[in-house]
Amino acid sequence: MTTWVPPEASGYIHWGATTQDIMDLASTLQMKAGLEIVERLLVQLETTLRKMSHAYRDVPMAGRTHLQHALPITFGYKCAVWLSSIRRHVLRIHQLQESSLMVQFGGAAGTLASLGTTDAGIRVRKRLGEVLGLTDPVITWHVARDTVAEIINFLALVGGSLGKIALDLIIMSSNELNEVAEPYVPHRGASSTMPQKRNPISSEVILAHSKILRAQAGLVLDGMVSDFERASGPWHLEWAAIPTAFISVVGSLFQADFALAGLVVNQSAMRENLLSTRGLIVSEAVMMALAVHIGRVRAHDVVYAACTKTIDTPGTHLLDMLKESEVVTSHLGQEELSRLCDPEQYMGCCQHMVDDMLRLYPETAPNGISAPAKKMNSALKRETNGYTNGDTDGLSNGYTNGQVNGVH
């Protein structure tokens, strides 16, 4: 480095700094650039999910708990739930960028003693932060690694949210449900021996990386436990965790937006699955209506008996069994029973919640990109590129322009 500057300045290279200062600064600057990429991709995914929430607001489907039919929902509601977590991550990343990207310059033991006993060292550190666009930490943080741990744990949180979306898509794309499919690319997701296969490759990659991200979060938490004024080993865990975490989350975000933006939604299959349990999915609606007359406990027992008979009698509908119950028919008329047994009449607040989520995005640019996303896209100096290679059965590739290229 001494050859990069004029001879009269070369003697000040590494002046007052220790090697960890330089390593931490490099890592922080890389994380700063990485968070800008993550932010852009989060906003891009947020925009995609906002559009999906609106488009599928009223599309009915089965809500499932413990993998079994629970109550009717809409696909737009499911998309809006996914959207809510991504929106929170966008808010979190703004907080991170303000609080966790700090300049590092402390010298041998963090005291800046080599620059004297005046405040000269502190002034140098503040100026260094200004030049690099990093926050001044007030006091040296080289053995207080909570900011690094916070950033990587944030990336793990993003991976967890994406993993939840991926798991939903994987199950929904099974042949038995057939409710969604990832975008079609010739030979993508195909098998070398089973030509009919259309595997949810993007979702599988995302799910795998959510586990990789969780492992990196554990590493940086271990790295926080530093001894005295210079760690004797834990700090080095970050060298593996930081690049792995950023590569994983950027790849996952790209794959998530690819899968969702082009998702094939089989609305007829959603409705068919909703009706497949022959009215059982709205047993709660009947129970609550009947409870007004005979109390909740007794109403539960009566409707439970009707559900059992429906399950044990193929070809019947819950409505048929309810009509055979004198307790039910003495309090609920035929028209009301028919309405209560219609899944599309028991959506609760699904659409209202979707509307409330969409109201958080009052401004939309003419091209369909939200105003915050448009602002962010114009502000970024780095570009993220990625593509899905159908010829390799959906292997994920991503890289960032600049001095560092990451491929996974």
Active-site residue identified among 114, 191, 276, 330: 191
18 close to 105: Cβ distance less than 8 angstroms: no
Task: Tell me the pLDDT band of 132, cut-offs 50, 70 and 90.
Answer: very high
The pLDDT value given to residue 218? 96
The residue extents of the domains of the chain are: 280-340
More confident residue, 377 or 58: 58
The arithmetic mean of pLDDT across residues 24-40, rounded, is: 97
Query: How confident is the prediction for the chain on average, in pLDDT?
Result: 88
For residue 375, pLDDT beyond 60:
no
How does DSSP assign 333-387, residue by residue? -HHHHHHHT-GGG--TTHHHHHHHHHTT---B-TTS-BHHHHHHHHH-SS-EEEE
Over residues 215-257, the pLDDT tens digits come to 999 999 999 999 898 888 888 999 999 999 999 999 999 999 9
The pLDDT value given to residue 392? 30
The pLDDT value given to residue 398? 33
Q: Report CA dihedral (12, 17, 23, 27) to the nearest 10 degrees.
A: -90
Task: Tell me the pLDDT band of 363, cut-offs 50, 70 and 90.
Answer: low
In the numeric block, which tokens belong to residue 357? 């989520």
The pLDDT value given to residue 371? 46
How does DSSP assign 72-117, residue by residue? EEEHHHHHHHHHHHHHHHHHHHHHHHHHS-B-----SSSS-GGG-S
For residue 386, pLDDT beyond 70:
no
Strands 180-181 and 264-265 come out as antiparallel
The arithmetic mean of pLDDT across residues 21-37, rounded, is: 96
Task: Tell me the pLDDT band of 186, cut-offs 50, 70 and 90.
Answer: confident
- Cα(362)–Cα(201) distance, rounded to whole angstroms? 34
The pLDDT value given to residue 185? 79
181: β partners: 264
The pLDDT value given to residue 187? 66
Indicate the range of 23-32, 172-181, 388-397 predicted with least confidence. 388-397
The arithmetic mean of pLDDT across residues 3-16, rounded, is: 86
**331 has catalytic annotation:** no
Indicate the range of 4-13, 132-141, 329-338 predicted with least confidence. 4-13
Phi, psi of 351 (to 5 degrees): -65, -35
For residue 61, pLDDT beyond 60:
yes
Over residues 109-128, the pLDDT tens digits come to 999 999 999 999 999 999 99
Task: Tell me the pLDDT band of 190, cut-offs 50, 70 and 90.
Answer: low
- Cα(185)–Cα(176) distance, rounded to whole angstroms? 22
Task: Tell me the pLDDT band of 393, cut-offs 50, 70 and 90.
Answer: very low
Q: Which of 307, 302, 278, 308 is nearest to 289 (CA)?
A: 302
Give me the helices (H) in 224-295, please: 237-261, 267-275, 283-294
Percentage of residues of the chain with pLDDT beyond 90: 77
Sequence-distant (≥ 6) Cβ neighbours of residue 173 within 8 angstroms: 179, 180, 181, 182, 200, 203
203 close to 167: Cβ distance less than 8 angstroms: yes
Indicate the range of 25-39, 155-169, 206-220, 232-246 predicted with least confidence. 232-246
**187 has catalytic annotation:** no
Active-site residue identified among 66, 192, 232, 268: 66
Task: Tell me the pLDDT band of 384, cut-offs 50, 70 and 90.
Answer: very low
The arithmetic mean of pLDDT across residues 7-36, rounded, is: 92
**Length of the chain as a residue count:** 408
Over residues 265-307, the pLDDT tens digits come to 999 999 999 999 999 999 999 999 999 999 999 999 999 999 9
